[in-house]
Amino acid sequence: MNGTISQPHKGGGTNKTSDQRPVVLLNSMNQLLNYVINERLKKIVEPANILEPRKGGGRQGRCVGINMQKVHLIQQEARRQGKRVYRVDIDLTNAFNAMSQAALWRVMRMFKIPDVGLLEQIYAGATVRLAPNDEESATITFTTRVAQDSIASPQLFNIFINALLRMLTVTGQNECISHGLQIGKDQKGDKQRNENGYQFNNTGFIDDISIVVDTPDGMQKLLNVVQEITAWCGIQINV
C-alpha cells in the first residue's frame, strides 16, 4: 500500500508548514482493495454483534446523534429523580494516527475476526512519500495508525476501540458500576425488561467516550481500566 502526501494550504502564511494540512492520497488499486475489506468486515462484525451496541459513529443506523440523546436522557433523569451522576468525557488524542497496529491485530484476533494476516501484510508494506512520489522522495513507514483516506479505516478503528468499551462494560457488570438511575419504568412502577439494558456506564462517539456512573469510586475503577488500555496501545487521552 503506497500513498502520496499532499500539503494543501489551510490558511495563514504559505511559507509555514503549520499553515499546511498533510493529506495522504492512496492509489486506486489500494482504495479498491480497502473497499472489499471494509464490506467484508461489516458483514462479519455487525451480524455477529461484535461491536458494543453503544458504539456510535461509522456504523449504519448507529450515528453519534443517538448516543448524544442517551447522554441527554441520563442528565434529564438524574435531575428528575434527584440523584447525582458523575460523567467524564474522554477524547482519544489523534487516535487514528496514534493507535498501535500490533494492538489492533491482537484485538481482531481476540474477537476471532478472520483475514488479520492479510491486513498485517498490507500494512507491513505500507509506505508514503511526499508528492510527486518519486525516487527523490524519502520513503516513510509506520507501526502506528490506520491508513488515512482509506474507507476501511473507520471500521478498523471501531473494532479496536470496541475492546475498551467492552472492558468498561464487563467491569461494570462484574462490580455493579453504572449510572444507577431507574430508566424504563412507567408512572405505575412496572419493572423494565432486562433485555433493554438500561444500566450502562459508557457510550462511544467515534474516537470519544463518555463514562457515566453513580459513585466516585466506580468512576475511578473505570478510569483505571481506560489508563490500562491506553497505556498498552500507546494512545494519549484528554479528560
Q: What is the pLDDT of residue 18?
A: 73
| Range of lowest pLDDT (7-16, 45-54, 85-94) | 7-16
Number of Cβ atoms within 10 Å of the Cβ of 34: 22
What per-residue confidence (pLDDT) applies to 115?
87
Instruction: Give mean pLDDT, residues 65-88.
Output: 91
Q: Which helix (H) or strand (E) holds 172?
A: helix 153-175
Specify the pTM. 0.80
* Contacting residues for 137 by C-beta, under 8 A, at least 6 apart: 129, 130, 131
Pairing of strands 208-213, 202-205: antiparallel
- Asked if the peptide bond before residue 22 counts as cis, ω within 30 degrees of 0, the response is no
Radius of gyration of the chain (CA): 21
Q: pLDDT of 145-161, one tens digit each?
A: 787 678 888 899 999 99
H helices of 19-152, in order, are: 28-45, 64-81, 95-98, 101-110, 116-124
Residues 6 or more apart whose Cβ sits within 8 Å of residue 82: none
Which grid coordinates are listed for 110? 481476540
Q: How far apart are CA 55 and CA 39, in angstroms?
A: 19
Q: Determine the average pLDDT of the residues in 191-217.
A: 79
pLDDT digits 0-9 by tens, 13-51: 666 777 777 777 777 788 888 899 999 999 999 999 999
